[in-house]
Amino acid sequence: MPPQSLYVLSIASLCMAALSFLVIAVDLVRHPQTIAVMNPVWPITALYLGPSPSGLNGRWDVQAVVIKRSRSGKPPS
């Protein structure tokens, strides 16, 4: 039988992954990705990477929007 500390660590990891999934899913409902195929990819990624995709999701999509606006000639808001 594994030690109790590993059991507690695994439960904490699962809770973090579930919370990350929910946070990203809610964010994607409010602000969908510019590339539609990424909408299901980010929450699924959160299930096995935990909270790390949360920051990447926002940062990479914001960069894509800035690049798109700069190419279209619109000033960044």
Structure confidence by residue, pLDDT tens digits, 34-61: 788 888 988 888 888 877 766 666 655 5
- In terms of pLDDT, which residue wins out, 64 or 46? 46
Q: Give the pLDDT band of residue 5 (cuts 50, 70, 90).
A: very high
Burial classification of residue 53, based on how many CB atoms lie within 10 Å of its CB (0-12 exposed, 13-18 middle, 19 or more buried): buried
pTM higher than the cut 0.85: no
Q: How far apart are CA 47 and CA 20, in angstroms?
A: 7
pLDDT at 62 over 60: no
